[in-house]
């Protein structure tokens, strides 16, 4: 399977899995490549990572609860 450029919308839908290391290896690499060349998606990743760091610090968990994930996602899209 030849690597191809992913759409930003695809990145957005998989960014949580990417951050949690839950994507298959080749998908992780594809997302990483995209993030390396797309400032918009990279900004999204860094914004979410900063948000998650704060969330993890407050709830003391390495794993993001799905409901928190949903809330963060909604807040992010509402803020755009």
Interacting residue ranges for Zn ion, rule: CB under 5 A: 8, 38, 41
Helix, strand, coil in percent for the chain, rounding step 5 = 75, 0, 25
Identify which of residues 38 and 72 has a Cβ nearer to Zn ion in the complex.
Answer: 38
Length of the chain in residues, anyone?
A: 80
Least separation in angstroms between CB 35 and Zn ion: 7
Query: At closest approach, how far in Å is the CB of 18 from Zn ion?
Result: 12
Residue 49 beta carbon to Zn ion: minimum distance, rounded to whole angstroms: 16
């Amino acid at each position: 399977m030849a690597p191809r450029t992913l759409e930003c919308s695809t990145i957005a839908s998989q960014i949580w899995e990417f951050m949690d290391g839950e994507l298959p290896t080749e998908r992780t690499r594809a997302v990483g490549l995209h993030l390396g060349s797309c400032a918009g998606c990279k900004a999204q990743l860094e914004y979410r990572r900063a948000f998650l760091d704060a969330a993890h610090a407050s709830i003391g968990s390495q794993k993001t609860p799905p409901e928190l994930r949903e809330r963060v996602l909604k807040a992010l899209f509402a803020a755009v």
